[in-house]
Amino acid sequence: MDGEEKTYAGCEGPDDMYVKLISSGGHEFIVKREYALTSGTIKATLSGPSQFAENKTNEVNFISKVCMCFTCKVRYTNSSTKIPEFPIAPKIALELLMAANFLDC
């Protein structure tokens, strides 16, 4: 998410290490599969029958804050370091709540 050019092992198939999450605005977020599985909904989507197009290409639509949430969860679960503040601007809070509810996270 820092804009650097990076090549990834690939987001082509169900076993790959990375998945690509695309927001409705077309922004692409490439995250480790393990992190994205924090969301019960994404997990179900990615492990479902492979007829579903989503599974083949590992793409799910949503927004960037959810990605940050996944990273925090993986990083700070079972860790003794202090959990930093996770600021949520009031104007996106409702939309983010809907996304969090849908994704069950």
Partner 1 sequence: MLSPAPEEPLLLAELKPGRPHQFDWKSSCETWSVAFSPDGSWFAWSQGHCIVKLIPWPLEEQFIPKGFEAKSRSSKSDTKGRSSPKEKTLDCGQIVWGLAFSPWPSPPSRKLWARHHPQVPDVSCLILATGLNDGQIKIWEVQTGLLLLNLSGHQDVVRDLSFTPSGSLILVSASRDKTLRIWDLNKHGKQIQVLSGHLQWVYCCSISPDCSMLCSAAGEKSVFLWSMRSYTLIRKLEGHQSSVVSCDFSPDSALLVTASYDTNVIMWDPYTGERLRSLHHTQLDPSMDDSDVHMSSLRSVCFSPEGLYLATVADDRLLRIWALELKAPIAFAPMTNGLCCTFFPHGGVIATGTRDGHVQFWTAPRVLSSLKHLCRKALRSFLTTYQVLALPIPKKMKEFLTYRTF
Site of interaction with partner 1 (CB under 8 A): 65-66, 69, 72-73, 76-77, 80, 82-83, 86, 88-90, 93-94, 96-98, 100-101, 103, 105
Nearer to partner 1, 46 or 99 (CB): 99
The H or E element containing residue 101 is helix 90-103
Question: CB of residue 105 vs partner 1: minimum separation in angstroms?
Answer: 5
- Minimal distance in Å, beta carbon 6 to partner 1? 26
Q: Decide whether 52 or 102 has the Cβ nearer to partner 1.
A: 102
Q: How far is the CB of 97 from partner 1 (least distance, A)?
A: 4
Ranges assigned E (strand) in the chain: 18-22, 28-32, 59-61
Please, what is the angle between helix 64-76 and helix 90-103, to 10°?
A: 70
Indicate the residue among 11 and 31 with the shorter CB distance to partner 1: 31
CB 105 within 8 A of CB 66: yes
Q: At what angle do helices 90-103 and 40-47 cross, to 10 degrees?
A: 40
In sequence order, the 6+-apart residues with CB closer than 8 A to the CB of 95 are 63
Residue with Cβ nearer partner 1 (6 or 91): 91
